[in-house]
Chain A
């Protein structure tokens, strides 16, 4: 593994090269990483096969066209225009999922207290990742942080809302998962085969709202996506 630094638009980044197989990029200051990741993705460099942008790290999967001096090309990228930030309501039915036991035990708070705090929080779309449509929401109050499960559950139902470490997350697909499930959303997020496959942008804001099981069934029957629900 080799290490070097990179300067772009007055921000400093640290680039780790793992044997020309992949690069990891970290930012010295928070917030600048997503912009760099987007610029690299949009540029469609021929020596990069995959770009994965997370809140704290960018991973670039390299191919045979890469050599070390190519890293300098990142410093020539020009910033694009900032996108507008939208705010969406996310309707959640806080079901009686078995994971609530762990969540209450770890936080020492009742279900009602936890829901109260969630509804009072402004969440930010921090990253897309894990599986298609999975959304990481930033802003979870520290009191509600719950570590991931030691053995991931084999099955988490699509449109489950869950807590994983410092994030609130939304599973858009049935999948295995290591986060603690606290509720269900009656609207869909994924819009495959459109690209991008979901209507949200990084930095968009999410406000959670509480719905009853009757309201859940009602909205679910309308088969809305998140945008149509908010319209």
Chain B
């Protein structure tokens, strides 16, 4: 698993997330990021969930050695970060090579900064939150501040290079209308994003997909991300201005974060889908 190592811990460096809500009843404070807006910026720059854990730095930055390649995003107060002696600005995504060292100094224009890593940090979740709560010693990295020699691991969100280009989809309400062959074809066909796509729907060009029916008896609900199969056999992905009901089979759907990815692919480019059975 890829990892980083804390070379110098800084003044008060902890793992935090949005915090554990609703437990004050049991005298457990929320903890969590001290500047949630700044933390959210770092997470969103990497297309991570707003609830994901990240590193919070306070006043004096840590020095971090990356043992493996990574993508990181830095936000919040400016700690005058440098990657191997090259200055790194805040609010950017930084590509890290194995062996790279990230060094910061004193915070200017603020006190707290955030460092998010593209992946799933392997840290402790207690009461549904990764936030470090120092007094009780729970959450984050062993419930304490990071110190010299600590190793933080993460699971990469990037799958192997071939699959990375494949957009994950899940079976939709009428998935069963597709034959076994067509269900496999849905993953095998390389589609081109049609130039007649718009904000309502993305029309896919490629081989025709066989369904036992292309018309539903009733008009049924659809949401952005749903994939419809009209009689042409060429799927349509409904987008942000899409209709809210329709009569074509809803063979599959994309979850919101994958619709985000698809929405950034230019017209005329090729895409392929990868069918997941559950999340």
Contacts and interface: CB of A to CB of B under 8 A. Distances in A.
A129 B221 CA distance: 8
B70 to A, nearest CB: 26
Interface string A122-140: 0000010111000010000
Interface residues of B, number: 29
A50 B232 contact: no
Interface residues of A, number: 36
Contacts of A151: 230-232
A54 B221 contact: yes
Interface string A40-70: 0000000000101111111101001000000
A176 B219 contact: no
Interface stretch (A159-167, A190-198, A211-219): A159-167
Contacts of A31: none
Interface in B204-246: 214-215, 217-223, 230-232, 243-246
A127 B223 contact: no
B247 A52 contact: no
A56 B218 contact: yes
A64 B218 CA distance: 30
A150 B253 contact: no
A141 interface: no
A54 B232 contact: no
A88 interface: no
B278 interface: yes
B255 interface: yes
Contacts, number: 85
Contacts of A178: 230, 247
Given A152-B230, A165-B217, A129 B245 contact: yes
B223 A54 contact: no
Contact of A131 (B217, B243, B247): B243
Of A1, A20, A55, chain B has the most CB atoms within 10 Å of the CB of A1
A222 to B, nearest CB: 30
B170 interface: yes
Given A24-B173, A56-B220, A57-B220, A147 B215 contact: yes
B223 A165 contact: no
Of B171, B244, B253, B279, chain A has the most CB atoms within 10 Å of the CB of B244
Interface of B: 51, 170-173, 196, 200, 214-215, 217-223, 230-232, 243-248, 253, 255, 278-279
Given A57-B218, A130-B243, 19 more contacts: A1-B171, A20-B279, A50-B223, A52-B222, A52-B244, A54-B220, A55-B219, A59-B221, A59-B222, A64-B51, A129-B244, A131-B243, A148-B247, A150-B231, A151-B232, A164-B219, A165-B218, A165-B247, A167-B219
29 contacts: A19-B278, A19-B279, A20-B279, A21-B170, A22-B223, A52-B223, A52-B244, A54-B220, A54-B245, A57-B218, A59-B221, A59-B223, A61-B223, A127-B219, A129-B219, A129-B244, A130-B219, A130-B243, A130-B246, A131-B243, A131-B244, A148-B215, A150-B214, A151-B230, A151-B231, A165-B215, A166-B218, A176-B200, A178-B247
